[in-house]
Amino acid sequence: MKDVIIIGAGPCGLSTAMECQRQGLTSLIIEKNFIVHSIYLYPTNMQFFSTAELLEIGGVPFTSPNDKPFRHEALVYYRRAAQQHGLEIAAYEEALSVEPLDDGTFAIHTSNSRGEHKTRQAAHVVIATGYFDQPNMIGIPGEELPKVTHYFGEAHPYTGMKVTVIGGSNSAVDAALELIRVGATVDMVYRGDSISENIKPWVRPIFESLVKKEKITLHIQSRVVEITPHSVIIQLPNGETEVVDNDFVLALTGFRPSRTLLTSAGVVMDDELEKPAFDHSTMESNVPGLYVAGVIASGRNANEVFIETGRGHGKLIVDHILMKQSSKEKEMDH
């Protein structure tokens, strides 16, 4: 039995395992895909908001020739950091449920890519799953058409195509800029008064200049109400609709974390934000011995937790586990 089983091999799960190792606890990471899968799903040419130093984990230096590193550099860095620490990772194994046992330990029921079911036991569990598995669906007719995707990898497949981007966040703006570079015709539809305030400061002026030059058609205070095989139907601020010819739709409306594992273990959720109940000073949930780390702690408001903040969760968790162990030992001595 491991001292700690960590579910999720993102940067926050990895840094928790490294902290366990540093402080003498045994750990295993269970990951249903592969190491830092969420970063792998980022657009191919994405550049981080943070400096390399703020993305470092486990005391492994992240060196980059760029002021802010790119996705491909991060993939190399996290692979190398995990190898350097010799972390034990069960990849392509999905945790299906977490069962608290009567003795205070946990049974984690899993299934691997070969369809084999296992039950693993641990004294403590850390849920560090990301939120890239469940896109926020818009719930409009035509959203299920093959021309619609919630993920943007790179612009090349859309060369010369008419593409509608739904959303106004960094991912939507980055996608629109890349699409223009490959000669796509871009309509961007966003329900807000203007694009998000959080747009990377070095990107905003480029985007705004392309809108001004009418290279990107920006529909603000608007929403796509229907997608057909050949068009999108946009509701404008005045209530009227406009039909725009269209080949592909990128619905970049964000993601939300899966709550299945948390609820299976009895963690109380705030229904509105899908946020788990936990103590911010220890990351322990309402279920003793079960912790959350990384973006899962923020529920639907994923902007609350980034790698640079979530990477510190492991230390809070391991410090708390050791403190509990030490007070148990003191009780037994008396």
Q: Is 39 helix (H, G, I), strand (E, B) or coil?
A: helix
Look up residue 224 and give its two tokens: 């796509």
137-251: CATH topology is FAD/NAD(P)-binding domain (3.50.50)
Question: Is the pLDDT at 131 greater than 90, yes or no?
Answer: no
**Whole-structure pTM value:** 0.85
Residue 64's pLDDT is 94
Residue 332 has phi, psi (to 5 degrees) of: -65, -30
Question: Is the pLDDT at 67 greater than 60, yes or no?
Answer: yes
Residue 333's pLDDT is 66
Band (307; pLDDT cuts 50, 70, 90): confident
Average pLDDT estimate for 90-109: 96
What does the pLDDT look like over 269-306, one tens digit per residue?
A: 876 666 888 999 999 999 999 999 988 887 655 555 56
Nearest in space to 27 (alpha carbons), one of 301, 237, 291, 270: 291
Average pLDDT estimate for 115-121: 96
Residue 279's pLDDT is 92
Token look-up 């080949």 returns 247
What does the pLDDT look like over 227-258, one tens digit per residue?
A: 999 999 999 999 999 999 999 999 998 887 77
2-133+255-333: CATH topology is FAD/NAD(P)-binding domain (3.50.50)
- From the number of C-beta atoms within 10 Å of its C-beta (0-12, 13-18, 19+), residue 220 rates as middle
Residue 134's pLDDT is 79
d(CA 60, CA 5) in angstroms, rounded, equals 22
Q: Is 108 helix (H, G, I), strand (E, B) or coil?
A: strand
Token look-up 């995707």 returns 149
Nearest in space to 138 (alpha carbons), one of 222, 48, 37: 222
Look up residue 289 and give its two tokens: 């011995």
What does the pLDDT look like over 11-55, one tens digit per residue?
A: 999 999 999 999 999 999 999 999 999 899 888 988 888 899 999
Average pLDDT estimate for 164-190: 95
Residue 273's pLDDT is 60
d(CA 19, CA 284) in angstroms, rounded, equals 16
Residue 88's pLDDT is 97
Query: Which strands make up the sheet holding 241-245, listed edge to edge?
Result: 223-227, 231-235, 241-245
d(CA 16, CA 144) in angstroms, rounded, equals 38
List every span in the chain annotated with CATH 3.50.50.60: 2-133+255-333, 137-251
